[in-house]
Structure 1
């Protein structure tokens, strides 16, 4: 039985149920505006969005012309009408794009330069380090972007939230080039607002008018919003080299499957985009969004999950994202290592969220990386069995590194041979200094693994155990060779661990911001790609931020400082010791 105190409120949009409006009261006694529940039923949902009670009597509604249930394995073979094949043609190939913007750099580092001749080593670490061409080299030959934004404009996005979202979208539109294309859809009624159109002066004006027309109402339908975005990509008649989806939501999905099933359903959201769906970069806005669902969507598509608690700086988060998307230089990157010495074997590969494969005999391994932004780097640890050397053998060849990829601007395929990893084999190996490059990556990987373990403990409501895991890892990072040497990456990792400890100790804090912080950090470390965590009580991390991202964020901040309102004061929560809030010094000086 529904609470009679809520009888005059629609359980989907939370708007009032007033006399004269068409309404529907379900068997479970939950009441809805007829227009709100119609979309849910038309999408194939036959259970109450609130209590999940099955309905035997459904409201008689006509399905919207473009409505369809999220794809599932049983329905993926059905033909879907090409509804969104009206995309504006792409521009012709530019002369500047005929020149390659630079090559990938591939290096190897052994955990130590020498191993005693008679020694046998197991799990000997070799770091494979790839770096994309710089933004300066690729600026004249940038690959154009097809971008679809899925915006949550449900009833909770009223007032300043919606104004900040419109401002952020205006910034995105202003910074797209004339060869880039943009389509805007929203997730309350899962509709496309503007077709995929080039960002010429006329296209930008049309996109801004569409964004300004947005109004907050209804519920949140992430699944259908993503289905529409995927169909925009699947139906397009023309294609730019780079494609991506940006998803922003501030609330729970009130239409799709229950939360406990979302991890399995998320990949189906984008099935309609074809064999290679675009990456979804998800942004959790405020403290009421479903961080677990949005992280799952991002992980399933190769995108990132960003957490924006400080709503005033949503534009900076968008700026960082497009700063990367507008500088894609490498696509379909695949790194391979092949053993040189006949007795060297690959034991394991640490590649985070990237798929890796070790062949059955352990003689080779590969990592599928995909796209790289300009100046991005990827580091992977390869663990080897190293045999003892024969008499008079001074050097043992371990592995040969190589990679294949496609230049995003020219479409040309490339094959690159990297450094061979070798170790010296003196009779005795005394006072051998370990590689700081390898140790730094080992510290990062182990910290990431402990973050995942602490998050799992917190999800089991074992918050003290989660905090214990992270405190132990913080001490290990501080005692590590790069940590004691003042390595910048380790210092930022220490700051991040302190933020996570503060967010995991208390159940309420974890539910409010801690879980989202964990998931955003895991998304970033798993892909070695920047994902924002815009908190009220801690500064924004800079790990994996490229020069182009940094430049775009700086541009956003300067624009906000000259034309936007000041952000609201932070909530009354504990601050992480030793960290200053973004913009704190400016706020204090103005108050003075």
Structure 2
């Protein structure tokens, strides 16, 4: 047994801990149900319950135990380690079609195995633990039919019994007993009012810092309002119905962005990250799926993405994590992300194992309860939901009839309507993989005021989270409401095109309102207002609209009222050649594309994929003939690329069910809220589909993507292996 154990250590790495049962009867039933052991369990005492594990039975130790029956290696793996790849444990023979990489320490591996390993920042030899100065790089492969790079940054095995993850934690620091016990499997309180108190002194200091930064940069952090009439002139004796006016809003920049613009020579590397600038603090609840279908690579990447979120939050932010499978459990209360808070959050997340069904409704119920029961509130609040499956209890359970699914039942009453006044918590939903219920996730986000993102490739889950977090950590405008009023006595409002934002008009059809809510730094909103312009023979000019906005600063809590310029048009006796406004034309194209997407989706759901493709093709032809498209407008090119991508994903029923529906719904979510979502390769810097990304989102995305090369601020995750509880049949 001794020689076998030495060979196993050599193959897996001398510092890797595995559990080898003495006998098959020694295996815990709870771990047998999970199908594997989690290395994260070593973060807790061996006999203490694992936080997040819905089974309260004790975990098994992770210390190797010699046994005469525990470990058997195939005969072809009993040779020297130089002839065996320590990652995939198969023999390396030159000339069999697999490239072999020999490291500086003289240990050899299959090139594709070690390239996938180091892609996530691991620059340490799995055998001798030596640090490498040169690492292999595997270029992305091309998907030839689409001529687009499609790759999964993680090429780990998908066998649940061989896949788990362990994130290196910060050095342990002394914490209070209250923090220690909060990670144990104790009964949850009836009321979740155990959130950590806010640091009001820190908030006051941040407000002062924000005012000081604005004064030093000579910047006025106010909303920008611009208006554009469709045409600059209409003949006096001519009336025009459906005359369009564009209302353009742009949120102020963060202090960091303002400083960069005024000092373009200043290095970006010297600027503080988003989490350290003066900004509104965030209360964030993540509701994550740990059902059986998340086992293996999915759960590993989810833990990695959650680690990035935890490290991106600052001590003024608070985080709580809800893990759900057949039931849901709060891993820890809403707590500040100090060094101790981060360590405990990482420990709780890394302890998760996948098991059970998918109860999205229960997870959201507990997430909403954390928000509703908290004693104090940070200025910004949000819920992030991730799932790779379909709800098997509320919508698709055995007791549910065959009638049309009621996706509203997945949302707690406090979120989808009739809740407490001012309780407005957006749920940003992330559908993971080809098996998730895109319709339900889109419905959840749309009803709550959040966005829906489609994570197609497993490797971009962290980037998708990063883009969302980049926005949440840069909120500069809250409770924004836009009001516009007709000025000429003969004018009246027609239609208001505001996407998913709530809009209304007074009974006289002369005053309208749009409730916008929160805006991220540098975020823009465009709304089209239709007017009926009357004949006006008494003047050379007609005043159409007056636009004003009211909003709250999340840091200073001050309310600001702004008035835009009055929209006027010329009224000549005879108008020359009419030239449409480029800005209005661009936004009309965006709305045309969004309407075509919705119509195509409806046709596809009826089973008419050919009709859906035809709708998208007709829209592309119309867009190509518009003024902005012929002028080379980038937005038009991006819309055309998006419509073409949707056509490809509606090629047949199988492709549409696997990715087409989710891609279309994510696009509709993005355009209806005018906010960036992740879909397909939209987080790739080479993608044309990058609509609505803000500088803060791009900055956070860059931080996420550079982690693959290693970063001192967030230690890379290394894949670990654990032996199956029972021998698997071959």
- Provide the residue aligned with 1:4 in structure 2: none
- Provide the residue aligned with 2:371 in structure 1: 233
Q: Do the aligned partners of 1:227 and 1:270 also contact (CA within 8 Å) in 2?
A: no
Deviation at 1:264, TM superposition (A): 3.3
Q: Do the aligned partners of 2:469 and 2:697 also contact (CA within 8 Å) in 1?
A: yes
Q: Larger Cα Rg: Structure 1 or Structure 2? A: 2
Q: Distance in 2 between matches of 1:306 and 1:271?
A: 19
Q: Distance in 2 between matches of 1:141 and 1:168?
A: 25
Q: 1:530 aligns with which of 662, 676, 682?
A: 676
Q: 1:126 aligns with which of 245, 248, 270?
A: 245
Q: Distance in 2 between matches of 1:468 and 1:244?
A: 38
Gaps of 5+ in 1: 1-12, 18-34, 38-63, 67-80, 568-592
- Provide the residue aligned with 1:551 in structure 2: 699
- Provide the residue aligned with 1:328 in structure 2: 475
Distance 1:82 1:240, change over 3 A: farther
Q: Distance in 1 between matches of 2:467 and 2:54?
A: 35
Q: Distance in 2 between matches of 1:83 and 1:325?
A: 26
Q: Distance in 2 between matches of 1:500 and 1:556?
A: 27
Distance 1:167 1:565, change over 3 A: closer
- Provide the residue aligned with 1:216 in structure 2: 354
Q: Do the aligned partners of 1:313 and 1:534 also contact (CA within 8 Å) in 2?
A: no
Question: Is residue 2:320 matched to residue 1:179?
Answer: no
Deviation at 1:107, TM superposition (A): 1.1
- 3-state SS of paired residue (2:649): helix
Q: Distance in 1 between matches of 2:450 and 2:676?
A: 11
Q: Distance in 1 between matches of 2:598 and 2:349?
A: 38
Q: Which whole-Å deviations, capped at 9, do the CAs of 1:300-322 have from their partners, x for residues lacking one?
A: 10000000011111000000000
RMSD, matched Cα = 2.6
After superposition, residues 301-380 of structure 1 pair within 5 angstroms as 301-380=448-527
Q: Do the aligned partners of 2:34 and 2:355 also contact (CA within 8 Å) in 1?
A: no
Q: Distance in 1 between matches of 2:442 and 2:367?
A: 18
Q: Distance in 2 between matches of 1:128 and 1:379?
A: 6
- 3-state SS of paired residue (1:494): helix
After superposition, residues 238-257 of structure 1 pair within 5 angstroms as 238-257=376-395
Distance 1:352 1:566, change over 3 A: farther
Q: 2:328 aligns with which of 170, 176, 190?
A: 190
Q: Which whole-Å deviations, capped at 9, do the CAs of 1:530-553 have from their partners, x for residues lacking one?
A: 011034999472100000000110
Gaps of 5+ in 2: 1-30, 36-52, 56-185, 215-220, 260-273, 720-730
Q: 1:439 aligns with which of 573, 578, 585?
A: 585
Question: Is residue 2:292 matched to residue 1:155?
Answer: yes
Distance 1:118 1:169, change over 3 A: same
Aligned residue pair count = 498
Q: 2:303 aligns with which of 166, 172, 192?
A: 166
- Provide the residue aligned with 1:292 in structure 2: 439
Q: Distance in 2 between matches of 1:429 and 1:520?
A: 43
Q: Do the aligned partners of 1:230 and 1:277 also contact (CA within 8 Å) in 2?
A: no
Q: Do the aligned partners of 1:532 and 1:540 also contact (CA within 8 Å) in 2?
A: no
After superposition, residues 463-502 of structure 1 pair within 5 angstroms as 463-502=609-648
Q: Distance in 2 between matches of 1:437 and 1:306?
A: 28
Q: Do the aligned partners of 2:361 and 2:411 also contact (CA within 8 Å) in 1?
A: no
Q: Distance in 2 between matches of 1:452 and 1:548?
A: 29
Deviation at 1:115, TM superposition (A): 0.8
Q: Distance in 2 between matches of 1:467 and 1:438?
A: 27
- Provide the residue aligned with 1:52 in structure 2: none
TM-score (norm 1): 0.80
Q: Distance in 1 between matches of 2:339 and 2:502?
A: 41
Q: Do the aligned partners of 1:295 and 1:523 also contact (CA within 8 Å) in 2?
A: yes
Q: Distance in 2 between matches of 1:132 and 1:515?
A: 32
Q: Do the aligned partners of 2:395 and 2:407 also contact (CA within 8 Å) in 1?
A: no
Deviation at 1:16, TM superposition (A): 9.3
- 3-state SS of paired residue (1:419): coil
Q: 1:94 aligns with which of 195, 204, 208?
A: 204
Q: Which whole-Å deviations, capped at 9, do the CAs of 1:60-104 have from their partners, x for residues lacking one?
A: xxxx976xxxxxxxxxxxxxx852111011111232314456111
Q: Do the aligned partners of 2:286 and 2:320 also contact (CA within 8 Å) in 1?
A: yes
Q: 2:339 aligns with which of 176, 197, 201?
A: 201
TM-score (norm 2): 0.65
Q: Do the aligned partners of 1:334 and 1:369 also contact (CA within 8 Å) in 2?
A: yes
